[in-house]
Structure 1
Amino acid sequence: MIAGGGDYPVQLARILAGRGERPFIAALDGAADPEAFGGDADIRRYRLGQLGSLLDELRQRQIVDIVMLGALPRPSFGALRPEMSTLKYLPHFAKAFQGGDDHLLRGVVSFFEQQGFRVHGPAQIAPELTAPSGPVGRRQPSATQRELLEHGFSLLKALSPFDVGQAAILADHRVVAIEAAEGTDAMIQRVADLVAGGRLKIGKGDGVLVKLPKTGQDLRVDMPAIGPDTLRNIAAAGLAGIGLRAGEVLVGDRAALGRLADQLGLFVEGVA
């Protein structure tokens, strides 16, 4: 596992441990927290510029199957500080950096495939980490809220060719926010600030968040995700719940997320 930040790499490692497996974890410096995996984890820390060393380690261990998971801020090409064994790979990544996030991630996948590795998505290894079809928790969206969710899904699908965000907020039969480079939580805060400032009114039970992958997005390395903070943020913003594309958005521990949704009075719905 090539691990970035957040709790999802740790959750996946625990799921694998429950199956009796002990993956080798390459913790990306500045993103993953090696201590979060526990003292028994087979883990080493790597800078992005140590790609050559990572490849040598994977080959020495005869590893051919890779999963990449966790948050990683997009680095600048000039900040990679490559070691000598990495320099020969720079032309490939120079091309990958010449585009949006999708282009960069596809370049990363193609690089590892060209080196003889098989890249797997987290949902292929642990589908229980993704949104199920139906409610997560006791609450379900009303008929009006379902219409908003479907409208939001259609909106994000139409925006896919422009490589913008993976989420939007809708209320009162209209779009009030679309995720851009700031990310989902910052978009939710933007809406909360508008409500607090009196520039936007959202009726109780009206506003919804929708999140799903862009059309053609490579879910092996770029699967959308929510977590407990997402639920807390939308509750603070006065929204009613979240609609997710079932099987294509990471939610982590479904039971724990459902309990939190119930506590906050929210619905979380996986839509097929």
Structure 2
Amino acid sequence: MIAGGGDYPPALARIVTGRGGDIFIAAIEGVGDPSAYGDAPVKVYRLGQLGSLIEELRRRGIADLVMLGGLPRPSFGSLRPELATLRYLPYFAKAFQGGDDHLLSRVVRFFEDQGFRVHGPAEIAPELAMPPGPLGRQSATEHQKNLLQRGFSLIEALSPFDVGQAAILADHRVVAVEAAEGTDAMIARVGDLVARRRLKLTEGDGVLVKAPKAGQDLRVDMPAIGEQTLRNVKAAGLAGIGVRAGQVLVGDRAALGRLADELGLFVEGIA
């Protein structure tokens, strides 16, 4: 596993080792905690050490890769390539000439060209993905489901522009769309509008929608929500979250369902 930051890479490692499988973690320098993987073998790499990483994977006889975890988009000039990586630079110079979808698809293609098989996290551990239906006791109302469907349509329509994977809808209209700031910052922006009375949400109206863009490669860029997402949604005065079932990571489903009940939110997977 090529691991970025967040809770999902350690969670996936625990699932694999809990089944008796073997896993090697290549942790990206500065974005994750190498000590979070227990007894699993971990080695830290900076982005400019791609050549060393490939050599290590081949030395270990590894053919199957999964890439998981948060990673701020670097600039091409910040890579500081080692000698073994220099020959790959022309490829990645072109990869950086586009949005995130373009860059990530080129990363996947690069590893495939090197002979590796790239798998999505939900392919390795389906239990990490959102199932159909609600996680807790509360379900979305028909009005809320209509808002969610409008949100899914919005994300699909915006896909060619490589914008974000989330939106907030309320009162039959779009309130916010995720861009480069990320989902949590978008939710906070709406919460600030509510606090300053620039936006009024009636009880049970505002919803967060999270879904992949059309054509998004879920092997390397699968949307995710977590406990902090739920807390942020509650703080902003929203009623709940709707995500595409099977296409968004949620981690510990039972724990997220309990938190949704505690906060009085719905968290629902929509087919």
- Counterpart mapping for 1:65-76 below 5 A: 65-76=64-75
Could you list the structure 1 runs, at least 4 aligned residues long, displaced by more than 2 angstroms after superposition. none
Residue identity opposite 1:235 in structure 2: K
- Counterpart mapping for 1:253-264 below 5 A: 253-264=252-263
Whole-Å separation in 2 of the counterparts to 1:193 and 1:205: 18
Residue 36 (structure 1) shift? 1.2
Check if 1:2 corresponds to 2:2.
Answer: yes
Aligned length: 271
- Counterpart mapping for 1:64-213 below 5 A: 64-213=63-212
Residue identity opposite 1:111 in structure 2: F
TM-score normalized with structure 1 length: 0.99
Number of the residue aligned with 2:14: 14
- Counterpart mapping for 1:244-255 below 5 A: 244-255=243-254
Question: Unmatched 5+ residue regions in structure 2?
Answer: none
* C-alpha contact (below 8 Å) 1:22/1:42 kept by paired residues: no
Whole-Å separation in 2 of the counterparts to 1:141 and 1:221: 29
3-state SS, counterpart of residue 242 of structure 1: strand
Q: Percent same amino acid at aligned positions?
A: 75
TM-score normalized with structure 2 length: 0.99
Whole-Å separation in 1 of the counterparts to 2:32 and 2:235: 28
Whole-Å separation in 2 of the counterparts to 1:243 and 1:255: 17
Residue identity opposite 1:210 in structure 2: V
Q: Could you list the per-position Cα deviations for residues 178-229 of structure 1 after superposition, in whole angstroms to 9, with x for gaps in the alignment? A: 0011000000000000000110000111100001000000000000000100
3-state SS, counterpart of residue 36 of structure 2: helix
Whole-Å separation in 1 of the counterparts to 2:244 and 2:94: 31
Residue identity opposite 1:60 in structure 2: R
Residue 41 (structure 1) shift? 1.6
Residue 22 (structure 1) shift? 2.5
Check if 1:238 corresponds to 2:237.
Answer: yes
Number of the residue aligned with 2:37: 37
3-state SS, counterpart of residue 198 of structure 2: coil
Residue 166 (structure 1) shift? 0.5
* C-alpha contact (below 8 Å) 1:136/1:257 kept by paired residues: yes
Q: Could you list the per-position Cα deviations for residues 59-115 of structure 1 after superposition, in whole angstroms to 9, with x for gaps in the alignment? A: 001100000000000000000000000000000100000000000001100100000
Question: Unmatched 5+ residue regions in structure 1?
Answer: none
Report the RMSD for the aligned CA atoms in angstroms: 0.6
Number of the residue aligned with 2:47: 48
3-state SS, counterpart of residue 199 of structure 2: coil
